[in-house]
Amino acid sequence: MSSYPAMLRKPYHRRKVCRFCVDKIQVDYREAALLLPFLSDRAKIIPRRISGNCAKHQRQVTTAIKRARQLALLPYTDVTSE
Ligand SMILES: [Zn+2]
């Protein structure tokens, strides 16, 4: 049995590039469909290391999600609990 620290290994890694940079997409808080993939099933914002966004766009996504929540375009919490 090898005792590698599990922290060093990435459990799964999606593509490391930022999809907003690659596809030249503008982050728009009115586009709920665009932001939805960056919410977990518990409606939490997915961290950058998993989403693969660059710092600039991750910040924009975070701001856009919070803004969209205020407009009731995105859920604050798990919607299935209703
Ligand atoms: Zn980017």
If we measure between CA atoms, which residue out of 79, 67, 62, 77 comes closest to residue 30? Answer: 67
Q: Supply the CATH classification number for the domain 15-76.
A: 4.10.640.10
Rounded to whole angstroms, the Cα distance separating 21 from 11 reads 25
Domains of the chain, by residue range, sit at: 15-76
Rounded to whole angstroms, the Cα distance separating 37 from 3 reads 35
**pLDDT at res. 66:** 97
| pLDDT digit string, tens, across residues 24-70 | 999 999 999 999 999 998 999 999 999 999 999 999 999 999 999 99
User: pTM for the complete prediction?
Assistant: 0.76
Radius of gyration of the chain (CA): 15
Q: How far is the CA of 56 from the centre of ligand 1 (A)?
A: 6
Q: How far is the CA of 45 from the centre of ligand 1 (A)?
A: 16
Q: How far is the CA of 8 from the centre of ligand 1 (A)?
A: 25
